[in-house]
Chain A
Amino acid sequence: MNFEPVIGIEIHVQLATRTKMFCSCELSFGEEPNTRTCPVCLAHPGVLPVTNAEAVHYGLMIGLALGCKIAPRSIFHRKNYFYPDSPKAYQISQYDIPLCSGGRLGDVRIHRVHLEEDAAKLVHTGSSGRIHGAETSVVDFNRCGTPLVEIVTEPDLRSAADAAEFGRLLQATLRRMGVSDVNMEEGSLRVDANVSIRPAGEATLGTKTELKNMNSFRFLERGIDAEIARQEAVLAEGGKVEQETLHFDPESGSLTSLRSKEEAHDYRYFPEPDLVPMAPTEEMVERARAALPELPAARAERLAEELPAEVARLLAFRTELGDFYEAALAADPTHPRQLANWTVNDLIGALGDRDPADTSLEPADFARLVGMVADKQASASAARAALPGLLENGSIDEAIASSAVAGEDELGGIVDRAIADNPDAVEKIKAGKGQAIGALVGAVMRDTKGRADGGEVQRLIRERLGV
């Protein structure tokens, strides 16, 4: 039987606000443990939460960016559970009335966007690395109370690859908005996936399982694929998929059950009596709307007017590359395609994970170099070889000098020398073996260290040999 996977994803995003969700502690970036705390986020007796206005603003921006409806009045709930990472023993979250609902990003419908707070970080010592069997467990409350936005999609995704692609688009969108660091490894963006399968063509949904906390989109894709395969195997053997929460281990590729439906918590949600409802004014919504930059989906569309769709998408998704490309294009608008190709191929290769804005390469210099290559005044391979140096304080003038194509005067002498040094090849060319010209071109290229245009070299050789 053919099965169709049905996938929805839930993304938790740490907001890049100055302070925590419900107190005035500044957010922590690797400070000493328990130095960004106060009576409120440590849940001392008698304290009360106060909602962070900047977090609401970011929440509204995200909702608007995803085309959601903003609730005129939404409320916080208490989600009750005992665990040392939750000092109040409840998380303040949103439940039946989220801040935003009913949007869309690309082909995927957004179910809801809501605000909540992050938990503290537990560190377990001992061999297991988990709380069971740990020698001691210590709590770092620096992260506790960091503002989170939870984004939940409708189950509109049909493959692991689509889910990963959607995740990347959402990540790029949030990064572009500047509302979060969206760093999966550091946990500022965390992805869960709800996965079920059903016989192809059927409308009813199968039993879903939840894959927790995959810390890269590659793992997300592999995890979902592994879970689809597992569910298919279960059904093929005549079994039933059980509702459960699973952990995917990217090293072994295995899935382990974290808890079954029976073990699921009863969170006893009820309205948080310490907070008044959030009722965003028109002014707040307008301020959030005005703060939205051009988003990747729109940027991809715009760039695709001049560029191949794939290149446009890449530039739009990697905001920093798109910004660099557009700055370079502004400096020299004559070669958009070459500039884009150089950006998504050669520059990416030289950059690795770096942001071009953090390197010494100026967009205008990049445009100048690429322009010379496009105008055949500079050698592509030499320019390519100069890029890594340019990212690290290399001089653009030296780079241009070293890749500028040798002029006809200079090149003439070198061609003559190549002809003189390779009598065998000359013989063959004259005998009509055209491909032998490659040996002469190669010699010229070696001699010029690539600073020559292959076509021009061939023309000169043929001219000299009269073929």
Chain B
Amino acid sequence: MRDLLGLTAAQQAQLIASGEVSSAEVFEFWRIQAAGDDLGSYLWVAEDTPTDPGALPPVAVKDLFCVEGVPSSAGSRILEGYLPVYTATSVRNLEEAGAAVLGKTNQDEFAMGSSNENSAFGPVRNPWDRTRVPGGSSGGSAAAVAAGTAPWAIGTDTGGSVRQPASLCGIVGLKPTYGAVSRYGMIAFASSLDQCSPLTRDVTDAALMLRILEGRDPCDSTSLGLPDQIALPSADRLDGLRFGAWGLGEEGLDPGVAAVVRSTLDRIEELGGSVAEIDLPSAGRGISAYYVIAPAEASANLARYDGVRYGHRTEDFEDLLGMYENTRAEGFGEEVKRRIMIGTYALSSGYYEAYYGTAQKVRTKIAQDFAAAFEQVDFVVTPTSPTVAFELGERTADPLAMYLSDYFTVPMPLAGIPAVSIPCGLSDGLPVGFQIAGPAFSEGRILDAAYALEQAIGFEGAPVR
């Protein structure tokens, strides 16, 4: 059989379509790859190969997507062994399109984290350097695609949870417009921000997957789908397109990352695009607003894990309150507890306006900043992450330093707009991500621009596989 490792998902789909390989052979190839993972990417791998898995290569699915009968724990002790009784709409759309579930990937617990070190089931290692983190929270999905243990994957992006690990692992991560993809069956972290997002080898695969994922779902009132079908990208020039660069002067930006990003801006100009620095006056406050809004929503979303109906229940209790307290104390990790407390506090009577109310105003301001920017430019571009992949344990003692990993990625979900991260080069031998954001529902244009740039950069997207 052909070595599929060097092929994108779209290329493998062509082989299946032409009959050169069977879909079962493709599934089996990836099943063996996934079973051989030694980075901690997977929490569960399919045990058997279906007789006819479908027309597309299989997909690795972040643990927080409910898949009927398959362990889905959102990386948390409190849901250890939980078997959903239904399948998430996004996963079902993939299955119906012919992409069967290959495995469930490791993640930060309830998607809270930027390094995958908050998983209850151990960290994930970055395939480019095993002493470093893959980013998070969709760290398992990103590492699996980068390391060649999955052809493609889905994750969720709330404040950067797909784009940042894609950046740190040297792959493509696309966060769609809020509402483009159904959230039904995605174990919720922050409902007004969470979006199901592809993690792929290249831009074409991201477009192919988004085409399958998007659509209105009667089970998700906030879903809209996309107005037009996503075409596979084909642009090779950026003539006439205006790019607004944001954040290159930020203090926390690593100089090596800045240099690679600047050279990418030069590429844009070489391809006929124009680049100008742009100011998003409120975007710098995104982290502050995000770390009020997301924990506030999470404090309610995670309240259902009470030991009454499913999941972990403490054995150590005398009364109802004790059952609640000990179940949650035993079931949740440190970061989840921290955010539940922050969110509960932010919503408390007497503090609501000062915290939640103010954060919502900042959110509106950020959306207005983007709207104003898109009157002058077609895209806003930034580094995806201020640094390359950092060492395991480097930031675990300092939550604020960890939170700042999402500095460049948090404003877009607050505004509900789409953004892609593509690999644009190496700094100290580690991948650097370049982020392209556009107005709501501009995924087609973003993917076209990203594709032209991807071809020009020619990133050799392979750690040692």
| Residues in A lying within 8 Å of B, measured CB to CB | 39, 42-51, 78, 80, 82, 84, 87-90, 131, 137, 139, 266, 268-270, 273-276
Contacts and interface: CB of A to CB of B under 8 A. Distances in A.
A270 B172 CA distance: 35
Nearest to B220: A48
A275 B221 contact: yes
Scoring B82, B190, B306 by chain A CB atoms within 10 A of each residue's CB, the highest score goes to B306
Nearest to B185: A46
B85 A46 contact: no
Given A50-B219, A274-B188, 18 more contacts: A44-B84, A45-B72, A45-B187, A45-B304, A46-B66, A46-B84, A46-B88, A46-B184, A46-B187, A48-B183, A48-B184, A48-B222, A78-B300, A82-B324, A89-B304, A268-B348, A275-B221, A276-B221
B74 A45 contact: yes
Contacts of B222: 48, 273-276
Interface string B152-193: 000000000000000000000000000000011111101110
A75 B218 CA distance: 19
Contacts of A87: 304, 308-309
Contacts of A269: 347
Contacts of B304: 43, 45, 87-89
B310 interface: yes
B300 A270 contact: yes
A89 B84 contact: no
Task: Tell me whether chain A's interface is mostly helix, strand or loop, or mixed.
Answer: loop
B303 interface: yes
Contacts, number: 100
B464 interface: no
Contacts of B220: 48, 50
A131 B308 CA distance: 15
A270 B303 contact: no
Contact of B306 (A78, A89, A137): A89
B303 A89 contact: yes
B356 interface: yes
Nearest to B296: A270
Nearest to B190: A273
B51 interface: no
B153 to A, nearest CB: 18
Interface residues on B, range: 35 or more
Contacts of A42: 309
A78 B352 CA distance: 14
Contact of A39 (B79, B86, B297): B86
B347 to A, nearest CB: 4
Interface string B200-241: 000000000000000000111110000000000000000000
A80 B184 contact: no
18 contacts: A44-B66, A45-B82, A45-B187, A45-B188, A45-B304, A46-B64, A46-B84, A48-B183, A48-B219, A84-B306, A87-B308, A88-B304, A89-B306, A266-B349, A268-B299, A270-B300, A273-B191, A276-B221
B320 A139 contact: no
Q: Among the interface residues B218, B221, B299, B324, which one has the most CB atoms of the partner chain A within 10 A?
A: B221
Contact of B309 (A43, A47, A137, A274): A43
Given A131-B320, A266-B348, A274-B222, A45 B84 contact: yes
A46 B186 CA distance: 5
A75 to B, nearest CB: 12
B11 to A, nearest CB: 32
Interface hub of A45, A50, A266, A268 (most chain B Cβ within 10 A): A45
A45 B222 CA distance: 17
Contact of A44 (B85, B191, B192): B85
B347 A50 contact: no
Q: Which are the 3 A-B pairs with shortest beta-carbon distances?
A: A89-B303, A268-B347, A273-B191
A139 B352 CA distance: 33
A134 to B, nearest CB: 10
A51 B220 CA distance: 10
B247 to A, nearest CB: 27
B288 interface: no
Interface in B340-372: 344, 347-349, 352, 356
Contacts of B299: 80, 268
B221 A268 contact: no
B219 A270 contact: no
Nearest to A131: B320
Contact of A90 (B218, B300, B356): B300
Contacts of A89: 300, 303-304, 306
Contacts of A88: 300, 303-304
B303 A82 contact: yes
Contacts of B185: 46-47
Given A42-B309, A46-B186, A46-B188, A51 B303 contact: no
Contacts of A43: 304, 309
Contacts of B184: 46-48
Contacts of A44: 66, 84-86, 309-310
Contacts of A131: 320
Contacts of A78: 300
A42 B186 CA distance: 16
Nearest to B347: A268
A72 B348 CA distance: 29
A74 to B, nearest CB: 14
B218 A50 contact: yes
Contacts of A90: 300, 303
Contacts of B192: 273
Contacts of B310: 44
Nearest to A268: B347
Contacts of A80: 299-300, 303, 347
Interface string B23-63: 00000000000000000000000000000000000000000
Nearest to A90: B300
Contacts of B218: 50
Given A89-B306, A275-B221, A39 B85 contact: yes
B192 to A, nearest CB: 4
A80 B296 CA distance: 11
Contacts of A270: 296-297, 300, 347, 352, 356
A121 to B, nearest CB: 14
